Amino acid sequence: MNDAGMWLAGIAALPVLVIGVSFLRVEVEHLRRLAVASAIAMLVAALVIPLSPAVRNFSLHTSALSWIPGGEDVVRVDGLSAALLPFAAGLWLLTVAVTPRASLDQRGLRRTAVTTLITLASFLTESAVVLLVLSAASVWTFLSALADPVHRYQRRVVAMYLGASTLSFAIGVALLVGPGVQNTAFETTGMWLIVIAALIRKGIVPFHAWVPEVFDHGRLGPAILFNAPQLGAYMTVVLIVPRASPEMLRAIALLALGTAVYGAALALVQRSARRACGYLFMSQSALVMAGLDCTSVTALAGGLLVWLSAGLAFAGLARCVLVLEARRGRLDLTTYHGGYDRMPVLAITFLAMGLACTGFPGTLGFVGQELLVDGAVDVFPVMGFAVVIASALTGLAVLRMYFSLFCGRPEALAHPGLRLGLRPREAWTFVALVTTLVGLGLAPRPLADSRFEASAEILKLRQQRVSGGLAGSTTTPIMKRR
Amino acid sequence: MTLGMPSVPLTVLVLVGVGSPALLLMLLGAASLINRPLSERWTGLLAGSSISLACGALLLAFIVYGMTSTDSRLLSYGAWSTSHDGGIAIEFLVDRLSLAFAVLSTAIAGVVSAFSNRYLHRESGYNRYFVLLAMFVLGMLLVALAGNVAVLFIGWELVGLSSALLVAFFQERPAAVSNAFRVISVYRISDAALLSAAVLLRHLAGSGSLSLLFGGGAGSSASLTTSNATIIAMLLIVAVACKSALLPFSSWLPRAMEGPTPSSAVYYGSLSIHAGCFLLLRAAPLLEHAPAARALAGLLGIATAVFAGITTRVQSDVKSSLAYASLTQVGLIVVEIAIGWYTIAFIHLAGHACFRLLQFLSAPNVLHDLHGLEEAMGDRGGRERRFALLTSDRARQRLFLIALERGFLDSLLDRVVVETFNRGARLLESLDQRLCDLLLPTRPSAALEGSDRDE
């Protein structure tokens, strides 16, 4: 293994270290400190990847798996994953840094490290079989978070939906890897099964009912960490976009656009903050999916940017809800809770994260959504209008939540001396998150350019496959469509 | 295109004009984010000097360029979001109209900033107010000088958000917060309509450059057929109607009076409420290409002027009365634009903005002198007699009731839009839950609670 490989191994070793130490008798707070330090180190190391050509073009080949779609590249770093690795590290850091002390134990910290490791490994492979294994592992990790009897119902709901997704994915891959399946009904069926797996995983209507249920009555923390990286989007980019027929992509995009509007509309009328988060996630996740399934370089680059911005912004927003819940209990959106003056940093963070979700100017989300609309408007004009409506509704939902959670007369404290403000660790993490999203929103060029390059690579691959006859039977050349 | 001065100074002047409030916003915003707000003295000083600098730079640009050239000029500061095609470019369209409106905006904002500095002294939200004021000034300048759809939209959104958050300035009052939500709801319709117009423009004309539509001249709007131009113009009119509280979107205006008086003055007396009129003025070449949309704008203007003229006579508090009085003039300005009296419309806009600013800023003194809201407006019976022109008592009473209830627009909106939306959304949500229950019929009662352990 060369230096680049060692670098990647070092990054992967950090969550492994936390997993290992979590089995020892260590105090939870000490383990959290180790996890925070590991996440920071992982983030810094991952940020080196886009800057270093050697690591950015690293790949580990094997001829043994060459019969699987993307199987020859078991480990591969490219333009797409170069930005996704820091993203995964950032999500881990956010999780371990702001989770309230009362909500954390050794198993929980271990689970965050395992989930991060799986996410990291997923972003480093393009092999369908490896992705399938990792996808099943992530579902298993999520189910283990719902193992307590209180969440038996939610566990069964998740098991049913995500089990079906994993099964569909497995059958789809099995159909694709069979001998002589190119341009046959097996290939088309296999592709559709993988599409359905991705749709369930991303909570796209009509496969979405598990998302609000898990966010509302399940465990919000694991739900954020499971959903925010959007492995379903990665499956789509790596396995579906290069191979699917235009009709297939259009069908996915239409479903995704409907979900974006649906999720935002339902988030607007929720009584529970958790459930509203669930619907907001559906809407954001669908917006990413719609962008990824649009065959224009600009729209795809927009989709890749929205993936990063919506993932971080949504995770930040939902984490704010968790931090508030730790201080106030379950949050009802039909009343005004007040408390801006007690927690101004949290209030500003919540608002900034919400606005980033809506694509408000000055945040990374704005640039992503602009590119998405701009690129899609020629090939798929309806997308522009759907994004506009979804964005308007999301904005209203976010502001309604903000007004309810931070405005109004503050509730009386149980004890006069009780301090409800953020701890420095929490405050600085939120400040860093806002700075990142606003900073990238004000100076988006390097990241946006890298997303353009990644999207050009993906569409080039698709072009090669289409001209090689590997795409679905009803394909038309992509460049002609554009 | 002629240019009365070297191009570099104009570019620099406009950059200073727009950049100065942008820097102010970043500085005050960053201080608030880390919970280390600047002292009142520093905040007031920075806000005053930054807005004055912007005003001075833009005034200079107006004197040197606006006085000597009648042409419009597109200033490009390069690609911002990406170096590839399809990104957002920072472009400003500079001509007499845009520079004049930009100067007016900064001058009024400067006056309000100085006034607010004393008016909000020791108010707990002092810093928050100035962050939002800086956001507003930046938004207004971007609306005034926008050279492409993206820049216009950024400005439009900044104005809308700052407006709603200032309505909720006294955030411990539930009424202020719920009114702010009403305001932002209408503003989001405006944003959606503007963005839809932009999407359509880009799809039909193949460009998001506003110089095509707003720049005037023979080439403008020529690439659009009349029907396409009408659709885009109609969407723009919806955006304008929401932003300027034209009928049928007028009901948010009195609700917006919950904010502090200086913000009411700058938003609903002088600048924000005229932003829609300014957009219509900019879009005049497009309106000329779409007679149906122009007629609609005229009708909306007349209807709004009549409605607001009647309503303002019966308002029980001075700020609402002033707000409706403003709306009367806004309606008339829209009519002037629809007729094609552009110069008169702009003079009317500028004069009205300054006059109404003065009225709003002096309103607290009137209230203070008369010790109450009702006293400031006279008794209700006296107000009913203001419809003495009508001979029938019944007609007079009906008109009085309609005016007092502000045209029943709020209840109409609640019944037609809000309730329908809520009912539909609740139905869909119950379907979601039923879908889960259908798959797993036994939902334990414990499953309705979240967990304490949420890492």
Say if B422 falls within a structural domain: yes
Q: Answer yes or no: is pLDDT of A309 > 70.
A: yes
Mean pLDDT value across residues B193-215: 75
- The shortest CB-CB distance from B455 to any of A104, A156, A381 is to A104
B32/A344 CB distance under 8 A: yes
B124 and B191 both lie in a single domain:
no
- The shortest CB-CB distance from B82 to any of A153, A349, A448 is to A448
Which of A92, A153, A389 is best to mutate for the B interface (most B CBs within 10 A)? A153
Backbone region of residue B182 per phi and psi (left: phi > 0; alpha: psi in -120 to 50; beta: other values)? alpha
Taking all residues of chain B, what is their mean pLDDT, rounded to a whole number? 84
Q: In angstroms, how far is CA A229 from the centroid of its own chain?
A: 3
B188 and B72 both lie in a single domain:
no
A266/B425 CB distance under 8 A: yes
- Kindly report the nearest CA distance between residue B313 and chain A, in angstroms: 32
B371 and B432 both lie in a single domain:
no
B129 and B268 both lie in a single domain:
no
Beta bridge partners of B193: none
Say if B396 falls within a structural domain: no
Task: Point out the least confidently predicted range of A172-181, A235-244, B120-129.
Answer: A172-181
B336 residue type, one letter: E
Distance (Å, whole) CA A398 – CA A195: 30
Mean pLDDT value across residues B108-113: 94
Say if B444 falls within a structural domain: no
* pLDDT-derived band at B265, boundaries 50, 70, 90: confident
Q: Answer yes or no: is pLDDT of A176 > 50.
A: yes
* pLDDT-derived band at A470, boundaries 50, 70, 90: very low
Tokens standing for residue B111: 């006056």
Whether the Cβ atoms of residue A198 and residue A226 lie closer than 8 Å to each other: no
B263 and B115 both lie in a single domain:
no
Name every chain A residue with its beta carbon within 8 A of the beta carbon of B160.
none
Q: Answer yes or no: is pLDDT of A250 > 90.
A: no
Mean pLDDT value across residues B380-407: 69
Domain that holds residue B419: 408-439
pLDDT of residue B266: 85
- The shortest CB-CB distance from B446 to any of A150, A213, A377 is to A150
- Kindly report the nearest CA distance between residue A312 and chain B, in angstroms: 17
B325 and B266 both lie in a single domain:
yes
B168/A403 CB distance under 8 A: yes
Name every chain A residue with its beta carbon within 8 A of the beta carbon of B81.
367, 370-371, 444-445, 448
Distance (Å, whole) CA B160 – CA B175: 19
Distance (Å, whole) CA A256 – CA A386: 10
Name every chain A residue with its beta carbon within 8 A of the beta carbon of B188.
392-393, 395-396
The ipTM estimated for the assembled molecules is: 0.89
A377/B203 CB distance under 8 A: yes
Q: Write out pLDDT tens, residues A397-446.
A: 999 999 999 998 887 766 666 666 788 888 999 999 999 999 999 999 98
Mean pLDDT value across residues A58-62: 70
Closest of A244, A250, A403 to residue A331, by C-alpha: A403
- The shortest CB-CB distance from B429 to any of A149, A266, A371 is to A266
Name every chain B residue with its beta carbon within 8 A of the beta carbon of A221.
453-455
Name every chain A residue with its beta carbon within 8 A of the beta carbon of B171.
338, 340, 406-408
Distance (Å, whole) CA B325 – CA B327: 5
- The shortest CB-CB distance from B440 to any of A153, A399, A435 is to A153
Say if B395 falls within a structural domain: no
Of A176 and A284, more confident: A284
B327 and B201 both lie in a single domain:
yes
pLDDT of residue B394: 78
B231 and B321 both lie in a single domain:
yes
B432/A262 CB distance under 8 A: no
* pLDDT-derived band at B391, boundaries 50, 70, 90: low
Name every chain A residue with its beta carbon within 8 A of the beta carbon of B172.
338, 407-410
Sketch the domain layout of chain A as residue ranges.
3-481
Closest of B441, B401, B207, B435 to residue B311, by C-alpha: B401
Task: Point out the least confidently predicted range of B203-207, B266-270, B301-305, B346-350.
Answer: B203-207
Residue ranges in A78-151 assigned as alpha helix (H): 79-98, 106-123, 128-145
pLDDT of residue A25: 84
pLDDT of residue B292: 92
Of A117 and A374, more confident: A117
Helix (H) or strand (E) holding B230: helix B226-243
pLDDT of residue A480: 30
pLDDT of residue B315: 80
B136 and B179 both lie in a single domain:
no
Say if B151 falls within a structural domain: no
Nearest chain B residue to A400, by CA = B181
Burial class (CB in 10 A: 0-12, 13-18, 19+), B35: middle
B439/A157 CB distance under 8 A: yes
- The shortest CB-CB distance from A268 to any of B425, B433, B446 is to B425
B70 and B167 both lie in a single domain:
no
B357 and B416 both lie in a single domain:
no
- Kindly report the nearest CA distance between residue B171 and chain A, in angstroms: 5
Size of interface A-B (CB pairs under 8 A): 212
* Domains contained in chain B, number: 3
B172 and B262 both lie in a single domain:
yes
A269/B425 CB distance under 8 A: yes
